[in-house]
Structure 1
Amino acid sequence: MSYTQESAEVIALQALGWLAGDEELLPVFQGSSGASEADLRAGASDAVFLASVLDFIMMDDAWVVRCCDHLKIEYASLMMARQCLPGGAQVNWT
């Protein structure tokens, strides 16, 4: 599936919803990002914040699996959506 920034934001927003409902993982995200509950709400409309949510979830394969299984999407979907959000372009080292 090919993503646009808009469809990537939808996936990231769904991932944020999953994260917000996970009582064990949400405090880890908040601790590592410094995001308060108000920041989570405000960040829902910010593509950069949504990208950070995907970056966080993709730090651990188990989190990716749990999130994608909950959302009923393919495991590569988070990575593909991340590439369409700010800062997600492939790095070219040449």
Structure 2
Amino acid sequence: MSLSHDAAETLALDALGWLVTNDEVLPVFLGATGASVEDLRVRAGEADFLGSVLEFLTMDDTWVVAFCDQKGCGYDQPLMAAHVLLGTARMHWT
């Protein structure tokens, strides 16, 4: 099953919402990315930024589970959405 661009963007916006309300994970994201709270507001409409939010989320299985359980979506959805939003720009580590 694949996601449309709109569905991927919606999931990424949900992930951003989850991130900004998570007092433990938000500082990790800000520290790892160098983004500011203002960047979160300004760049929320940019596919590459939303893709980076999803990539960050998928770095930790506990974050994925917490987000997906709250959202009620499959655990594979954040990674699939990141692929849709980032396409060939997505970094591959293997």
- Asked whether the two chains share a fold, i.e. TM above 0.5, the reply is yes
Gaps (5+ residues) in structure 1? none
Gaps (5+ residues) in structure 2? none
Say if 2:65 is the partner of 1:56. no
Q: What is aligned with 1:81? A: 81
Paired with 2:69 and 2:41, the residues of 1 have a C-alpha distance of 24
Deviation (angstroms), 1:49: 0.4
Q: What is aligned with 1:16? A: 16
Identity %: 47
Q: What is aligned with 1:4? A: 4
Say if 2:71 is the partner of 1:71. yes
**Residues 26-37 of structure 1 mapped to structure 2, 5 A cutoff:** 26-37=26-37
Paired with 2:28 and 2:15, the residues of 1 have a C-alpha distance of 15
SS at structure 2 position matched to 1:84: helix
SS at structure 2 position matched to 1:59: coil
Aligned-residue CA RMSD in angstroms? 1.7
TM-score (norm: length of structure 2)? 0.89
Paired with 1:19 and 1:69, the residues of 2 have a C-alpha distance of 14
Between Structure 1 and Structure 2, the one with more helix by share is: 2
